[in-house]
Amino acid sequence: MTYSRIAGTGGYLPEKILTNHDLERMVDTSDEWIRTRTGIVQRHIAADNEMASDMALYACRKAMAAGGVAAGDIDLIIVATTTPDMIFPSTACILQDKLGIEDCPAFDVQAVCSGFIYALATADMFIRAGKCRNALVVGTEIYSRILDWTDRGTCVLFGDGAGAVVLTQSDRPGILSSHLHADGGHRKILAVPGSICGGKVEGKPFVMMEGNTVFKFAIKVLEEVVYEALAENTLQVSDIDWLIPHQANIRIILSTAKKLGIPMEKVVATLDKHGNTSAASIPLALDIAVRDGRITRGQHVLLEGVGGGFTWGAVLLRW
């Protein structure tokens, strides 16, 4: 039987760092207010000439080096992003060209903060079906360009960055199962309700969020999808070695872990230094935990995310 497993991980964060103290000079907020309500201390901001594909390129090169895979070995590219380089072509096609790969399927996935989960699940199905052998799965975001920097309720939350994995064909289980959900009935509580028509922006091209509603919804579905993954694999919560949630808010992470009975020592949290990097947050956190030695072969790792749409999902894997 054919399976897929993660052979290598990579991450990239822009050079510029924006701290809470920097934000105190930009908007009516404080370091204490941001820390206590979000857990965020700083976030990275892309340079003016940096695009989502540029950040993805750096992350992919690291993942490919870690996995021992050359550009010519890649036969699928899936990019999860809410902030593409342009309307079209896809950021995946632009990334493909920058990597020097001439011919393989390449496309974007738009599931906001659940994007990497959706992309990873899709790549897994391609490999299991025998349609590819080595896939690049990337989350890359430049949220700093869709923020209203006068809105303290949203501008303090987000950061820029990219994370990537090489998913490769294997004869032993890596990804055990994936679980994807969406409910468009909640589409208005977290959105960027802007569009382009006739060369002009219509609506508001900035992140808008009903914070309390998002908080309650996220905690509910993140708990449910963990139990869904465990039930499908006949595992218990105690079998999870590492939980890597979407890095949105420390209160969401703490509440989810508490409801599941998972100690924070088994949760990978990076949002204090990264902020919410949307589709990039899970692969960035995974890369850090792999490279610092926390995650080791044979362990059960559960990735989960929730984002605007509303979308949510989980991937359970054996590292």
Catalytic residues: 113, 246, 276
The token duo for 69 is 């895979």
Alpha helix locations (H) across the chain?
20-24, 31-38, 52-67, 91-99, 115-128, 211-232, 250-260, 271-274, 281-291
Contacts of 165 (CB under 8 A, 6+ apart): 6, 7, 8, 9, 10, 63, 120, 136, 137, 283, 286
d(CA 29, CA 149) in angstroms, rounded, equals 12
Amino acid, single-letter form, for residue 253: I
Name the 3-class secondary structure at 104: coil
Secondary structure (H, E, C), 283-310: HHHHHHHHHCCCCCCCCEEEEEEEECCC
Strands 200-203 and 300-307: unpaired
Please spell the DSSP secondary structure of 145-165, one letter per residue.
Answer: GG--TT-TTTTTTB-EEEEEE
Name the 3-class secondary structure at 21: helix
d(CA 134, CA 72) in angstroms, rounded, equals 10
Alpha helix locations (H) across 52-199?
52-67, 91-99, 115-128
- Picking from 120, 206, 154, the residue whose alpha carbon sits closest to that of residue 43 is 154
Query: Using the 8-state DSSP alphabet, how is residue 11 labeled?
Result: E
d(CA 62, CA 80) in angstroms, rounded, equals 18
